[in-house]
Amino acid sequence: MNIEISRRKFLQGSITLSVIGGMTATNLFSKEEKSGKIKLTTKTGTSNVKEVATLCEMCVNKCALIARVEDNVVTKLDPNPHFPKSRNMLCARGNAGIQALYDPDRLKYPMIRVGEKGEGKFKRVTWDEAFEYIKEKTVKILDEEKDNRSSFMFCAGEGMAEHTFKTFFQGFGSSNWLNHSSICLQTVASGYGVTIGKYPQSDLENAKYIIMAGANRAEAIVTPDTMDGMKNVKSKKNSGKLICVDPRFTNTAAKSDKWLAIKPGTDLAFVLALTYVTLKEELYNKEYVNKNFNGFEEYKKMILTNDYTPKWAQEITGIDSEDIYEIAREFMENAPEAIYYPGRRSTFAKNDFQLRRATAIFQALGGGIDCKGGLIFGDTLKIKGHEEVLPMYENAASRAVVKNKNKKPNEAGYDDCAVVSGGGSWISWRNHFLEDKHPYNVRGMFCYKHNPMMNMPNSTKTAQMLKKMELVVCIDTMPSDTVMYADVILPECTYLERTDPVKTFGGAEPSIAQRNKVIKPMYESKPVIEIMRGLTKKISKPLFEITKKYDEEVIDAIEDSSIEEVYKEFDLTIPFIHSQEKLNEHAVSNYPDAAEKLKKVGVYYPNMEKYYKQLSVNEFEYYPKNKKNYSINSGKPLTPSEKIECNLKTLAKKGIDPMPIWREEYNYKIPKGKFRLMTGRHAQFTQSGSANNSMLRDLMHQNYIWINKRVAISKNINFGDMIEVSSKIGKTRLRAYPTEKIAPDNLFFIHGFGQESSALTWAYKNGGNDNAVIEDVMEPVYGAAAMHETNVEIRKV
Ligand code: SF4
């Protein structure tokens, strides 16, 4: 099947979308809501047509959409107005989801490698042949490793079916799980988690004053809350401001009231100085602090005695001290309806965990926690879990980590980071594997919807890791750079071809949403639950035979009962017996009509027929004002102590600063002739995942390297010239964009381009690959990748 959606048709679709979006919304809900029946309707002349409510997967946001299917072809994606999270918005990437479905380069059949790893030579096989190959290799390795289940590593990217794959990992019995967190939100989630109890949401809609630092919302992800942030602080009802703190003059900076060009990696000094002004001038909310802070006096003393003055911060950050005074005062004047935006970005600097702690404390000094216009925790609609198998394997080793031999008594800590989180540290794990430092052999890996070749700093090392693994199984939709190193490829269908596990979305307006299958999977691709069903059917019993051979407890148990009885605990097929649709019905069975609504409308929340209102063409109300969950804990943090934790002694035991302080090693230093490289993302481009999408490539052909204009002139570099960027670990090439919007010693380009997989028609060698040059620098707490710690050189080629 070869279906092409032309750019013209795509753009026509987008225009139609904006004009009739509101009309579609009216048709969808207004009449049926009173009778309790929700029916999707469509405006089309084609007779064989249906509309399916589902969720986007072009990025992590999961906006709700309605897919139009004509003669079994998905012809249009419209925003679904019923989802409080996406409020009738579908961005350019979301619209281009059709091309992800009909991308001719998609993985279509199971395949087994026939060439060298990375060469991209595979032969087509049947699903059974692919499973048989995996079984033989897995049995061999586990037999040789005496049933140490941790001799396999499992990794996964973010997604609604990630848990399905994780269920397989848990049943398999390995301890080695790596997900995207250490190359994504680990430090922000944990920094806020230990300080205020949870990584919060931001009520940008009602905030009067927003500091957006290092987050480029106007350009990186365009969603309803982005629009809130951009427009509401400027609306008549609010008198406040949007302050942008960023080394680059971004689109967010262009829309802000003030842009502060900070030096990369020095945000912590900026926040400490804001805190200094707040404490010195006693601008903070004393009542809130008295009631809700632990360790406030110690923190205050530390900030004041360390003299974290605006003058001090000016030297480090490059931000004028007068601006720091002004912003601290304005923020506290507007608090609690003021937000220092926590961001959704990855770790940039080594001090990122402490930056998040300092920011959370600064936010709390104004009292803007668990309240309207501030940071909110929101409510969540509970859904039921599904059946899992959690066998105990006697010989399964604990996670492969390298302990710190020099640690003091009672001090935790590992060789290169203090804490190992559930998602692990990707860089640490990979590097120790390459250096043969793991305490036991890890010989195989299962990789689901994850592309560490493109997404992890130092892609040369990642390639070495993949080459060294004896068995690499990749489950994916596209022939990514990582898939090129697979021994076995299992093609997953795209998000428009599958029903995923239902998900609950917390917030001020909590809801449940479901990704529904729009059309049948194309080619021989399958949803991951079916892949797991087939794989576990093939390998479950043979793997149990290995356990029977080496596991003393199992041997004893069989003597006491029977093989069949004992096997029940090790039967890996159990979690995948039921269809996803059945599992979802069970998950929401606490809510009488939820399963039906989720199938038809894609969204459910209690009283939705009563509450949901269309206010104007593109404005909706989901919950009445007095029913919104801005506050769920009377403004108190969600830490175990229900206090804002300023001075965490438990961190000190792990060798981590218990209070956020500035250290000399955090200073911004660039050797002469070098530049600090920064990376980021774009709203029309979802990191590496959409690099081959020809619709999006029409909107953004390639990435360009931002170079300060005066530097460019001094090096005779003009717009479009090819530039080679090199660091200690590698090189990449891309075209130049000389601009005044970046400082002379900084460079920037968008992540996700420059892919090496020749099976990707559009993405292959298109633009520059940041992770070919970003060094594998880790922040010291969780071992998260610090993406902006690399200095590079450039030359015109
Ligand atoms: S922000 Fe865009 S790409 Fe992301 S889920 Fe929403 S519509 Fe899809």
Q: Tally helices (H) and strands (E) across the chain.
A: 27, 29
What ligand 1 atom has the least distance to the C-alpha of 58?
3
Distance of CA 708 to the CA centre of its chain: 30
Nearest residue to 478 (alpha-carbon basis) of 444, 447, 502, 500: 447
Query: Which pLDDT does position 389 carry in this prediction?
Result: 81
Query: Which pLDDT does position 237 carry in this prediction?
Result: 60
What ligand 1 atom has the least distance to the C-alpha of 59?
4
Average pLDDT over residues 57-75: 95
Reply yes or no on whether the pLDDT at 345 is more than 90: no
Residue of the CA atom closest to atom 4 of ligand 1: 59
What is the distance in A from the centroid of ligand 1 to the CA of 560?
A: 55
pLDDT > 90: what percent of the chain?
82
What is the distance in A from the centroid of ligand 1 to the CA of 84?
A: 14
What ligand 1 atom has the least distance to the C-alpha of 95?
7
More confident residue, 747 or 8: 747
Q: 459 with 769: CB under 8 angstroms?
A: yes
What ligand 1 atom has the least distance to the C-alpha of 93?
3
pLDDT digits (tens, 9 = 90+) for 575-629: 999 999 999 999 999 999 999 999 999 999 999 999 999 999 889 999 999 999 9
Paired strand residues for 738:
707
Query: Which pLDDT does position 584 carry in this prediction?
Result: 97
Query: Which pLDDT does position 420 carry in this prediction?
Result: 85
Pocket test for ligand 1, best of 61, 80, 219 (most atoms within 8 A of CB): 61
Can you tell me whether residue 430 is helix, strand or coil?
helix
| Mean pLDDT lowest among 176-180, 419-423, 427-431 | 419-423
Can you tell me whether residue 252 is helix, strand or coil?
helix
Pocket test for ligand 1, best of 90, 228, 682 (most atoms within 8 A of CB): 90
User: How many Å apart are CA 614 and CA 26, to the nearest integer?
Assistant: 7
Tokens of 373: 């216009």
What is the distance in A from the centroid of ligand 1 to the CA of 282?
A: 42
Can you tell me whether residue 488 is helix, strand or coil?
strand
What ligand 1 atom has the least distance to the C-alpha of 86?
6
What is the distance in A from the centroid of ligand 1 to the CA of 113?
A: 34
Query: Which pLDDT does position 444 carry in this prediction?
Result: 98
Can you tell me whether residue 528 is helix, strand or coil?
helix
Nearest residue to 70 (alpha-carbon basis) of 50, 41, 96: 50
What's the pLDDT band for 7 if we cut at 50, 70, 90? Answer: very low
Average pLDDT over residues 110-136: 97
pLDDT digits (tens, 9 = 90+) for 247-294: 999 999 999 999 999 999 999 999 999 999 999 999 999 999 999 999
User: How many Å apart are CA 217 and CA 225, to the nearest integer?
Assistant: 9
More confident residue, 684 or 521: 521
Tokens of 435: 């250096």
User: How many Å apart are CA 401 and CA 197, to the nearest integer?
Assistant: 27
What is the distance in A from the centroid of ligand 1 to the CA of 525?
A: 23
What's the pLDDT band for 232 if we cut at 50, 70, 90? Answer: low
More confident residue, 387 or 437: 437
Reply yes or no on whether the pLDDT at 130 is more than 80: yes
Q: 442 with 153: CB under 8 angstroms?
A: yes
Nearest residue to 570 (alpha-carbon basis) of 388, 790, 693: 388
pTM of the complete model: 0.92
Nearest residue to 261 (alpha-carbon basis) of 329, 252, 326: 252
Query: Which pLDDT does position 19 carry in this prediction?
Result: 27
What ligand 1 atom has the least distance to the C-alpha of 686?
3
pLDDT digits (tens, 9 = 90+) for 475-527: 999 999 999 999 999 999 999 999 999 999 999 999 999 999 999 999 999 99
Distances (CA, A) of 554 to 108, 303, 580, 595: 40, 58, 32, 40
Residue of the CA atom closest to atom 8 of ligand 1: 94
What ligand 1 atom has the least distance to the C-alpha of 79?
7
User: How many Å apart are CA 620 and CA 613, to the nearest integer?
Assistant: 6
What is the distance in A from the centroid of ligand 1 to the CA of 92?
A: 8
Q: 711 with 718: CB under 8 angstroms?
A: no
Query: Which pLDDT does position 287 carry in this prediction?
Result: 98
Residue type, 659: M
What ligand 1 atom has the least distance to the C-alpha of 223?
1
Q: 376 with 508: CB under 8 angstroms?
A: yes
Reply yes or no on whether the pLDDT at 792 is more than 80: yes
Write the CB contacts of 745 (distance below 8 Å, at least 6 apart in sequence).
Answer: 670, 674, 675, 676
What is the distance in A from the centroid of ligand 1 to the CA of 90?
A: 6
Reply yes or no on whether the pLDDT at 209 is more than 90: yes
User: How many Å apart are CA 421 and CA 424, to the nearest integer?
Assistant: 5
Query: Which pLDDT does position 166 carry in this prediction?
Result: 96
| Mean pLDDT lowest among 9-13, 29-33, 199-203, 664-668 | 9-13
What is the distance in A from the centroid of ligand 1 to the CA of 650?
A: 39
Question: What string of H, E and C letters represents the secondary structure of 280-343?
Answer: HCCCCCHHHHHHHEECHHHHHHHHHHCCCCHHHHHHHHCCCHHHHHHHHHHHHHHCCCEEECCC
What ligand 1 atom has the least distance to the C-alpha of 62?
5
Query: Which pLDDT does position 24 carry in this prediction?
Result: 35
Q: 177 with 422: CB under 8 angstroms?
A: yes
Query: Which pLDDT does position 233 carry in this prediction?
Result: 64
Cα 201-203-207 angle, rounded to 5 deg: 140
What is the distance in A from the centroid of ligand 1 to the CA of 614?
A: 22
Reply yes or no on whether the pLDDT at 63 is more than 70: yes
Pocket test for ligand 1, best of 76, 93, 693, 700 (most atoms within 8 A of CB): 93
Reply yes or no on whether the pLDDT at 9 is more than 80: no
What is the distance in A from the centroid of ligand 1 to the CA of 57?
A: 7
Q: 605 with 84: CB under 8 angstroms?
A: yes
What is the distance in A from the centroid of ligand 1 to the CA of 251?
A: 19
Secondary element (H or E) of residue 583: helix 580-587
User: How many Å apart are CA 769 and CA 24, to the nearest integer?
Assistant: 41
Nearest residue to 539 (alpha-carbon basis) of 473, 450, 470, 465: 473
User: How many Å apart are CA 343 and CA 358, to the nearest integer?
Assistant: 14
What is the distance in A from the centroid of ligand 1 to the CA of 624?
A: 26
Distances (CA, A) of 226 to 64, 177, 223, 334: 16, 33, 5, 20
What ligand 1 atom has the least distance to the C-alpha of 65?
7
What is the distance in A from the centroid of ligand 1 to the CA of 95?
A: 8
What is the distance in A from the centroid of ligand 1 to the CA of 512?
A: 17
Residues with CB under 6 A from ligand 1: 56, 58-59, 61-63, 86, 90-91, 93-94, 221, 223
Query: Which pLDDT does position 235 carry in this prediction?
Result: 62
What is the distance in A from the centroid of ligand 1 to the CA of 82?
A: 15
Residue of the CA atom closest to atom 6 of ligand 1: 63
Query: Which pLDDT does position 12 carry in this prediction?
Result: 37
What is the distance in A from the centroid of ligand 1 to the CA of 101?
A: 15
Among all chains, which residue has been given the structure tokens 């381009």?
A: 753
120-134 core/surface letters (b: 16 or more CB in 10 A; e: else): bebeebebeebbebb
Count the residues in the chain: 797
Average pLDDT over residues 159-181: 95
User: How many Å apart are CA 343 and CA 681, to the nearest integer?
Assistant: 13
Query: Which pLDDT does position 119 carry in this prediction?
Result: 93
Reply yes or no on whether the pLDDT at 366 is more than 50: yes
Average pLDDT over residues 419-441: 93
Specify the DSSP class assigned to residue 248: B
| Mean pLDDT lowest among 126-135, 179-188, 478-487, 605-614 | 179-188
Query: Which pLDDT does position 25 carry in this prediction?
Result: 34
Paired strand residues for 746:
676
Greatest pairwise CA separation for the chain in angstroms? 82
Average pLDDT over residues 441-461: 97
Reply yes or no on whether the pLDDT at 16 is more than 90: no
Reply yes or no on whether the pLDDT at 679 is more than 90: yes
pLDDT digits (tens, 9 = 90+) for 713-769: 999 999 999 999 999 999 999 999 999 999 999 999 999 999 999 999 999 999 999
Reply yes or no on whether the pLDDT at 361 is more than 90: yes
User: How many Å apart are CA 723 and CA 675, to the nearest integer?
Assistant: 14
What is the distance in A from the centroid of ligand 1 to the CA of 63?
A: 5
Query: Which pLDDT does position 414 carry in this prediction?
Result: 79
| Environment class of 669 (CB within 10 Å of its CB; exposed 0-12, middle 13-18, buried 19+) | exposed
What is the distance in A from the centroid of ligand 1 to the CA of 684?
A: 10
Q: 63 with 56: CB under 8 angstroms?
A: yes
Reply yes or no on whether the pLDDT at 412 is more than 60: no
| Environment class of 723 (CB within 10 Å of its CB; exposed 0-12, middle 13-18, buried 19+) | buried
Distances (CA, A) of 645 to 295, 301, 355: 7, 15, 14
Question: What string of H, E and C letters represents the secondary structure of 327-353?
Answer: HHHHHHHHCCCEEECCCCCCCCCCCHH
Can you tell me whether residue 734 is helix, strand or coil?
strand
Pocket test for ligand 1, best of 14, 17, 18, 56 (most atoms within 8 A of CB): 56
